């Protein structure tokens, strides 16, 4: 297969960025990290199983390690952990994760925070404004809750604190 060069303009964390790749199949994760200097998304498994590479593309949760640039629409809005907050303020999820000490090594935190941000916003957009139960959050993290097609893996076992943090942030996000 002959690589196809591609230039695409994206809005990354509110800033218009134009990227060029030699192969339009290059994964968004590498473009974000190597060309746009975003450090939130991490390479974990490379096969969409762990979630550490999660970003929001036009508000939808996507695994950037398996998202070729050619599949990202021209002008798409890409939000990473680096740009989740606004005007220099932390996003409610970022604040809650700090307050609840919901990370140990923090490798998975990008994916869990970004996934939860997308999931909670989807709930709000669909009219669901109740704070999710512990069971619903656990279902989201395991990929078993409606609206969660993927699971999120934490090797450290900080899930109980993460569930508390997500529920705490949901009180603000969904109000």
pLDDT of residue 125: 96
- pTM of this structure: 0.94
Averaged pLDDT, 107-135: 95
pLDDT of residue 147: 64
In this structure, the chain runs to a length of 175
pLDDT of residue 164: 98
- 79: phi then psi, degrees, rounded to nearest 5: -115, 130
Q: Taking each helix axis from N to C terminus, what angle separates 92-99 and 159-173, rounded to the nearest 10 degrees? A: 140
pLDDT in tens, 35-82: 999 999 999 999 998 999 999 999 999 999 999 999 999 999 999 999
Dist. CA 145–CA 105, nearest whole Å: 26
pLDDT of residue 157: 82
- CA 27, 29, 32, 33 torsion-angle sign: negative
pLDDT of residue 32: 98
Averaged pLDDT, 144-155: 81
pLDDT in tens, 103-114: 888 889 999 999
């Amino acid at each position: 297969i002959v690589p196809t060069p591609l230039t695409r303009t994206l809005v990354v964390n509110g800033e218009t960025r134009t990227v060029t790749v030699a192969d339009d199949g290059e994964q968004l994760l590498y473009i974000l990290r190597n060309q746009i200097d975003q450090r939130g998304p991490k390479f974990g498994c490379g096969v969409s199983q762990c979630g550490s590479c999660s970003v929001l593309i036009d508000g939808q949760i996507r695994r950037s390690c398996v998202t070729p640039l050619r599949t990202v629409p021209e002008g798409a809005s890409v939000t990473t952990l680096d740009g989740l907050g606004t005007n220099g303020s932390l996003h409610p999820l970022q604040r809650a994760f700090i307050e609840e000490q919901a990370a140990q090594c923090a490798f998975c935190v990008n994916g869990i925070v970004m996934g939860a941000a997308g999931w909670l916003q989807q709930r709000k957009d669909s009219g669901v404004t109740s704070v999710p139960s512990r069971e619903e959050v656990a279902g989201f993290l395991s990929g078993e809750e409606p609206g969660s097609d993927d699971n999120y893996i934490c090797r450290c076992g900080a899930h109980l604190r993460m569930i508390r943090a997500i529920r705490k942030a949901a009180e603000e996000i969904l109000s």
